Amino acid sequence: MKRIGIVGAGFAGAVIARSLAETGNFTVTVFDTRNHIAGNCHTERDPETGIMVHRYGPHIFHTNNEQVWNYICQFGTMMPFVNRVKAVSKGQVYSLPINLMTINQFYKKHLNPSEAKAFIENIGEKGIADPQTFEEQALKFLGKELYEAFFYGYTKKQWGIEPCELPSSILKRLPVRFNYDDNYYSSKYQGIPEEGYTKIIEKILSHNAINLKLNTVFRTQDSDAFEHTFFSGPLDSYFAFREGRLGYRTLKFKEERANGDYQGNPVINYTDEDVPYTRITEHKHFTPWEQHDKTIVFREFSSLCGQNDVPYYPIRLANDKSLLEKYVKLANQTSNVTFVGRLGTYRYLDMHQVIAEALETAANFIEHTKNQSGERFPAFVHSPL
């Protein structure tokens, strides 16, 4: 029985732990510094209202990967859920992503799909041939008015810098639909666990070969006790930040409670720059199959991540990428440790992507141990660079 250490009890660590434990060839110890499992996906019942609260912000599961969908469904009932986001701009409420309803409402028109497509193409800034920044990408495909109404202020609040300083890759595709589809995602499978994400991960970790240690700080030297370690904590933290700290954005939440229904929707974005928060989330609407007389809302504020904050989004601008290269080099020189997950690989990954990569990493490691070639297992199955 090979001893394996896993740092982090979120999806990355839990899925790898379970995959290895089920072979019967490994004993796994999972460490987490927090007093709960599930990482930033942690959900818990509010004792006063009974509402299932997404403690670190809302998580809607969506994927086109049937293997990933079937995997998570093994550990709990996934209830159908469609995320229909609204946005408030200059005191008016619109649908997101930008769709035919948004366009017609914003411009006070009655366009059909082909007319709307021609209209948007006409208002886009044609002088931008090869957009290099977020701002150029938005202006090219949406024009100035839609960009300023829905993207400029929100993006500046979310990232803390001017959108003209962000790479165009952040706006990966044309953020507009020429129909009335207001489903925020286009994935084949969409849902939320009936009993929350924490219960899902609790079941994934429920195996005799898995030992869970919460409220426990994993130190670099602790890797010596294991034949291999999978590290899903911040990459720079494993090396005690010796090259400096990688940049993250963090989120702060102002919680409010009330009777009845606060906003009638799970998520409403506030896109104006002079509104300090980015969005308001109302948690009882993430479980529409339940009924609650009271409500809990979170106002969400984005800021630069400090040393004692919870990291959410890797920034990955030029300075961070330069620093990342140094940490990747250190990782590749480190034996018997593999870095996984959003924090371990310093990439923005959704839950379904984390699960898919964890399953792949575990399968590769199992095959690697069977071959006994003497070659080291890689520090990254998916490179951060």
Give 277-327 as a 3 state SS string: CCEEEEHHHHCCCCCCCEEEEEEEEEEECCCCCCCCEECCCHHHHHHHHHH
Is position 107 annotated as part of the catalytic site?
A: no
d(CA 353, CA 342) in angstroms, rounded, equals 9
Clarify whether residues 31 and 7 are in a common domain: yes
d(CA 156, CA 17) in angstroms, rounded, equals 38
CATH code (residue 100) = 1.10.3110
Cβ burial, residue 147 (10 Å; 0-12/13-18/19+): buried
Clarify whether residues 238 and 93 are in a common domain: no
Last-in-domain residue among 141, 170, 199:
170
29: helix, strand or coil: strand
Q: Catalytic pick from 181, 309, 350, 360?
A: 350
* pLDDT per residue as tens, the chain (385 positions): 999 999 999 999 999 999 999 999 999 999 999 999 999 999 999 999 999 999 999 999 999 999 999 999 999 999 999 999 999 999 999 999 999 999 999 999 999 999 999 999 999 999 999 999 999 999 999 999 999 999 999 999 999 999 999 988 888 766 799 999 999 999 999 999 999 999 999 999 999 999 999 999 999 999 999 999 999 999 999 999 999 999 999 999 999 999 999 999 999 999 999 999 999 999 999 999 999 999 999 999 999 999 999 999 999 998 999 999 999 999 999 999 999 999 999 999 999 999 999 999 999 999 999 987 778 999 999 999 9
Residue 157 vs residues 60, 79, 130, 225, 306: alpha-carbon distances, Å: 22, 32, 26, 44, 17
- Structural domain contains residue 289: no
Clarify whether residues 108 and 134 are in a common domain: yes
d(CA 45, CA 331) in angstroms, rounded, equals 39
Clarify whether residues 72 and 91 are in a common domain: no
Is position 147 annotated as part of the catalytic site?
A: no
> Residue holding tokens 């990342």?
324
Residue 69 vs residues 63, 72, 190, 356: alpha-carbon distances, Å: 7, 5, 9, 10
- Structural domain contains residue 379: no
Clarify whether residues 72 and 108 are in a common domain: no
d(CA 358, CA 336) in angstroms, rounded, equals 17
Q: Catalytic pick from 55, 94, 136, 177?
A: 177
Clarify whether residues 347 and 233 are in a common domain: yes
Quick check: 149 and 138 in contact, CB under 8 A?
Answer: no
Clarify whether residues 194 and 63 are in a common domain: yes
Is position 177 annotated as part of the catalytic site?
A: yes
- Structural domain contains residue 305: no
> Residue holding tokens 């095959």?
367
Quick one: pLDDT at residue 376? Answer: 92
- Structural domain contains residue 319: yes
d(CA 18, CA 71) in angstroms, rounded, equals 11
Last-in-domain residue among 170, 198, 230:
170
Is position 270 annotated as part of the catalytic site?
A: no
Quick one: pLDDT at residue 372? Answer: 77
Residues 6+ apart with CB under 8 A from 135: 147, 152, 162, 163, 164, 166
- Structural domain contains residue 306: no
Is position 46 annotated as part of the catalytic site?
A: no
Domain span at residue 204? 2-82+190-246+313-371
- Structural domain contains residue 7: yes
The number of domains in the chain is: 2
Q: Catalytic pick from 84, 249, 299, 376?
A: 249
Is position 350 annotated as part of the catalytic site?
A: yes
- Structural domain contains residue 41: yes
Cβ burial, residue 302 (10 Å; 0-12/13-18/19+): buried
Residues 6+ apart with CB under 8 A from 385: 321, 324, 325, 328
Clarify whether residues 71 and 101 are in a common domain: no
What are the backbone dihedrals phi and psi of residue 152, each rounded to the nearest 5 degrees, phi first?
-60, -60
Both tokens of residue 265?
């929707």
Q: Catalytic pick from 173, 274, 367, 375?
A: 173
Q: Catalytic pick from 66, 256, 290, 348?
A: 348
Is position 348 annotated as part of the catalytic site?
A: yes
d(CA 316, CA 346) in angstroms, rounded, equals 8
Q: What is the identity of the amino acid at 58?
A: P
d(CA 290, CA 287) in angstroms, rounded, equals 6
Angle made by CA atoms 238, 244, 245, in degrees to the nearest 5: 70
Clarify whether residues 24 and 99 are in a common domain: no
Q: Catalytic pick from 148, 236, 300, 357?
A: 300
Last-in-domain residue among 139, 170, 201:
170
What are the backbone dihedrals phi and psi of residue 101, each rounded to the nearest 5 degrees, phi first?
-65, -45
Quick one: pLDDT at residue 374? Answer: 79
CA 146 vs. chain centroid, Å, equals 26
Selection from 2, 377, 5 nearest residue 222 by Cα:
5
What are the backbone dihedrals phi and psi of residue 53, each rounded to the nearest 5 degrees, phi first?
-100, 130
Residues 6+ apart with CB under 8 A from 331: 235, 238, 337, 339, 379, 380
Clarify whether residues 93 and 235 are in a common domain: no
Clarify whether residues 24 and 71 are in a common domain: yes
Clarify whether residues 102 and 152 are in a common domain: yes
- Structural domain contains residue 223: yes
CATH code (residue 208) = 3.40.50.720
